[in-house]
A and B are shown apart, each in its own frame.
Chain A
């Protein structure tokens, strides 16, 4: 079968195998964490954190330091700085995110322009380079996925309570601050290990698309936590194959696959609702 041969052909390359594994797991991880990002309206924080991480990645590339250590520490420092500026209440939290993360991003761009020899690594962070991932990237994304899964399973009800109704959760013995911290740490770690798959500029889309698609398909939080990771993994897998065959950067194709799925589901859900309304008006 020609189609079967075509589909297995890229798998004969080790770099594609690694890329496919990372794209599948990163998609599922972003889908899982994205459920909380979408339901807590944290999309902007995700977007900002990925930009902040870019500054750290650029410093790590120039100094010749480990990407995970450089970008991780930089992301942590940015998160703490955002929290500190927001607590001062001179400017709002959204403005603090805007200033600190874009400042960090601009710093990364400046380093990229000034130190040309490191720009290849920096570009991988900017646009994603799933075909250039190392075995260490696979272990990092697997490790964070296992931790995220454990946290969601063990803290399921507390995370749900703190997300749905923080006021009552607080007086019912749930530490809302602790739950928010857990989610922020998981979000930062997710961005850190998946940013090289789709890139700084597209990571927030991979966090949002599977979750919003899942939201349109189900009214249950529990089901969303299943559906969104499956969709994320599908976007990652299908995007990887398409990117191979059409020869377009994989990060962009993964997001385009997600956007296409979103459009189809949105149209189908809209059509379903219109039919429902029409049947109501006739009977």
Chain B
């Protein structure tokens, strides 16, 4: 700032030397990071590295066995968006029913019910699915299903939205759709933390990445953390990184195969 003073923004939530376990050895250990208001963070790492445990700990579903989790307010409004495969899409619910199920008891008074109906309609419009309120959820595309989950999360008026693999198993177009919707929500001031395996399609587009493998290996902007060294430390396998148009592009190294056995004439008979 011009007058030389700095304003310290208090984190929404902060992990201080956190370790978690499910009864056995620690699944995540010595985890330190903070999520500030309006941040957009991607957590990347191999399968089994503890990414989902980090999300579950953020949400309060897993309690740390060591360390501390500090929140800005006692009841920080958070919402969770799971992977779309985790529910039965044949379940007989409409889009509106899915969105309102997270709102607690149905209002008894007609005025409150109408206000809620309007709010949900606006929410669906905002996410581009305003005309799908009465549709059964099975009749939606992958991108629309993801938006329904997002609408349900936003209906809880969160300050932080946590998403587990929001682009897993979706095509390129849906991935773009999801990324755009998330960027719009983030622009409105909602902090977002997501996990992803998609380094080039998603993580490289985010302002901040946490490379994770049982602990935070690196934390920063994609250009800073998506390097061969960091990725090898995170994934345990060599990975090359190119810079294309100012953005890092991760290339998976081809495994070294055994040289072909030379065929001798006598082997052919």
**Taking beta carbons and an 8 Å cutoff, which residues of A are in contact with B?**
39, 154, 156-158, 160-161, 164-165, 167-173, 215, 218-222, 224
Query: Which of B60, B92, B102, B106 sits near A221, CB closer than 8 Å?
Result: B92
Is the CB of B267 closer than 8 A to any CB of chain A? Answer: no
Q: In the complex, what distance in Å separates the CA atom of A160 from the CA atom of B105?
A: 11
Contact A157 B100 (CB under 8 A): yes
Q: A157-B105, A157-B106, A222-B97 are in contact. Are A215 and B92 (CB under 8 A)?
A: yes
Query: Which of A164, A167, A215 sits near B98, CB closer than 8 Å?
Result: A164
Q: A165-B87, A219-B94, A224-B92 are in contact. Are A172 and B136 (CB under 8 A)?
A: no
Contact A221 B93 (CB under 8 A): yes
Contacts of B56 in A (CB 8 A): 171
Q: In the complex, what distance in Å separates the CA atom of A156 from the CA atom of B113?
A: 15
Q: Which of A167, A170, A218 has the most CB of B within 10 A?
A: A167
Contacts of B106 in A (CB 8 A): 156-157
Contacts of A220 in B (CB 8 A): 92-94, 97, 136
Is the CB of B263 closer than 8 A to any CB of chain A? Answer: no
**B77-105 near A? 1/0 per residue, CB < 8 Å:** 01111100011100111100110111111
Give chain A nearest CB distance to B157 CB in angstroms. Answer: 12
Known contacts A168-B152, A219-B92, A221-B93; can you find 8 more A-B pairs with CB under 8 A? A164-B101, A165-B86, A167-B86, A168-B80, A168-B81, A171-B59, A171-B60, A171-B61
Contacts of A164 in B (CB 8 A): 87-88, 91, 93, 98, 101
Give chain A nearest CB distance to B46 CB in angstroms. Answer: 22
Give chain B nearest CB distance to A139 CB in angstroms. Answer: 29
Query: Which of B82, B92, B93, B94 sits near A168, CB closer than 8 Å?
Result: B82
Is the CB of B156 closer than 8 A to any CB of chain A? Answer: yes
A sample of 15 cross-chain residue pairs with beta-carbon separation below 8 angstroms, ordered by A number, consists of A39-B92, A156-B106, A157-B101, A157-B106, A158-B104, A165-B86, A167-B86, A168-B152, A171-B56, A171-B60, A215-B92, A220-B93, A220-B94, A220-B97, A221-B97
How big is the B interface, by class? 20 to 34
Count of chain A to chain B residue pairs whose CB atoms are closer than 8 Å in the complex = 63
Q: In the complex, what distance in Å separates the CA atom of A158 from the CA atom of B79?
A: 16
Contact A218 B105 (CB under 8 A): no
Q: A218-B92, A224-B92 are in contact. Are A161 and B82 (CB under 8 A)?
A: no
Give chain B nearest CB distance to A155 CB in angstroms. Answer: 8
Contact B92 A154 (CB under 8 A): no
In the A-B complex, the 10 residue pairs with the smallest Cβ-Cβ separation, listed nearest first, are A219-B136, A161-B101, A171-B59, A171-B80, A221-B93, A219-B92, A157-B101, A165-B87, A171-B61, A160-B101
Contact A39 B61 (CB under 8 A): no
Q: Which residue of A lies closest to B135 (CB)?
A: A219
Query: Which of B79, B91, B98, B152 sits near A39, CB closer than 8 Å?
Result: B91
Give chain B nearest CB distance to A151 CB in angstroms. Answer: 13
Contacts of A154 in B (CB 8 A): 105
Contacts of B103 in A (CB 8 A): 157
Q: In the complex, what distance in Å separates the CA atom of A156 from the CA atom of B81?
A: 22
Give chain B nearest CB distance to A273 CB in angstroms. Answer: 13
Q: A168-B80, A218-B92, A220-B94 are in contact. Are A157 and B104 (CB under 8 A)?
A: yes
Q: Which of A154, A171, A218 has the most CB of B within 10 A?
A: A171
Contacts of A168 in B (CB 8 A): 80-82, 102, 152
Contacts of B59 in A (CB 8 A): 171
